[in-house]
Amino acid sequence: MTATLKTLILGSGPAGYTAAIYAARANLAPVLLTGRQPGGQLTITSEVENYPGFPKGIMGPEMMEMFREQAGRFGTEIHDDVGIKVDISKRPFTVTSEGGKVFTTQTLIVSTGASALYLGLPNEKTLQGRGVSACATCDGFFFKNKVVYVVGGGDSACEEANFLTKYASKVKLVVRRDALRASKIMQKRALDNPKIEVLWNQNVTDVLDVNKGKVTGVELTHTKTGEKRQEPADGLFLAIGHQPNTQLFQGVLKMDEKGYILTTPGKTETNVPGVFAAGDCQDSYYRQAVTAAGSGCMAAIEVERWLESQHD
Ligand code: NDP
């Protein structure tokens, strides 16, 4: 058991590190547990071209190393460890880590992010980065003049399919029903795009690599007839939604039906005083590095003021 901290930060994406930078500079001596994927979702992307301050773009993993360095520079204690148990029913809060440490803290910043949903096919994870991706904006560039499949029928799927037509010669959108869930305007853009072909009532049921270690095709199954067929493909993009990494807080913090933590509008405070949530674990809408960083900054400032108010 360590001495009680002023603040503990869970997660090391743009939200977590930005909260750390601000908390450290406010002399709150923050401790940050990186979680299982240090650097978060940006470490599985390639180039980030929309983060202000990097006019030539920057590789996601490199950017997250810079975030980490900046958080460390002001004295954040960073542990490559994972919070596996929390008790926020009383103060100080306790967090137990996978590494066997028990932290006690007056405040907690939850910035555990979100993870893209996958179909759960046997080959899918091994072919990640070898043709399988859950981020067209990150990886589309690698599919110039190639044939790619996109799975999903929501706004993300339509947006990603449209985006991919900038590079790919053909984009096949695989929709499991006979209708898209996407907003009308996004549907129209996808349906009007001559490079996009929609495959209705179908599921991708296998990713093929014929022992080449990269995607060479997909197996499609018709949801009504059960008919299976194999088609050549260079890439498979999944756009079937994201899942917030909030399982640790289920039943304790208020969440929406999808598990995103609910915060007071315009703030990062949660229903438990002293617990703040920032980044994608509380944002199903923007999900951008820059908005996550902004909310991390908000959380640190709110922590500082909350601690002051407790002292008063
Ligand atoms: P959604 O949950 O809206 O859509 C998920 C889609 O994936 C649905 O079409 C769903 O099918 C399909 N799907 C889910 N699981 C499977 C599966 N196992 N196999 C095949 N298909 C599957 O997620 P999005 O990421 O598209 O959007 C999330 C939120 O972000 C939404 O609120 C959206 O409006 C918003 N957003 C807005 C954008 C914009 O305005 N520019 C861009 C991107 C997202 P089914 O319909 O049958 O359930």
Convert the pLDDT of each residue in 150-200 to its tens digit: 999 998 899 999 999 999 999 999 999 999 999 999 999 999 999 999 999
Does an H or E element contain 8, and which?
Answer: strand 5-10
Specify burial of residue 307 (Cβ count, 10 A radius: 0-12, 13-18, 19+).
middle
Q: What is the pLDDT of residue 97?
A: 98
Ligand 1 centroid vs 241 CA: distance in angstroms?
5
Residue nearest ligand 1's atom 46 by CA: 181
Q: Using the predicted structure, report yes or no on whether residue 210 has a pLDDT greater than 90.
A: no
Map residue 43 onto helix, strand or coil: helix
* pLDDT interval class at 68 (50, 70, 90): very high
Among the listed residues 138, 158, 281, 297, the single catalytic one is 138
Ligand 1 centroid vs 218 CA: distance in angstroms?
21
Q: Which atom of ligand 1 is nearest to the CA of 287?
A: 30
Q: What is the pTM of this model?
A: 0.79
Q: What is the pLDDT of residue 264?
A: 98
Distance (Å, rounded) from C-alpha 12 to C-alpha 170? 36
Among the listed residues 81, 139, 234, 280, the single catalytic one is 139
Q: Does residue 34 contact residue 12 with C-beta atoms inside 8 Å?
A: yes
Q: Hey, which of 202-206, 212-216, 284-288 has the most confident mean pLDDT?
A: 202-206
* pLDDT interval class at 303 (50, 70, 90): very high
Specify burial of residue 250 (Cβ count, 10 A radius: 0-12, 13-18, 19+).
exposed
Ligand 1 centroid vs 156 CA: distance in angstroms?
6
Q: Is 297 a catalytic residue?
A: no
Q: What is the pLDDT of residue 39?
A: 94
Q: Is 139 a catalytic residue?
A: yes
Q: Is 209 a catalytic residue?
A: no
Q: What is the pLDDT of residue 157?
A: 95
Q: What is the pLDDT of residue 46?
A: 63
Mutate to test the pocket of ligand 1, among 162, 176, 202, 287 (most ligand atoms within 8 A of CB): 176
Q: Which atom of ligand 1 is nearest to the CA of 155?
A: 26
Q: What angle do CA 293, 114, 60 make, to 5 degrees?
A: 55
Q: Does residue 306 contact residue 273 with C-beta atoms inside 8 Å?
A: yes
Q: Is 119 in the pocket of ligand 1 (CB under 6 A)?
A: yes
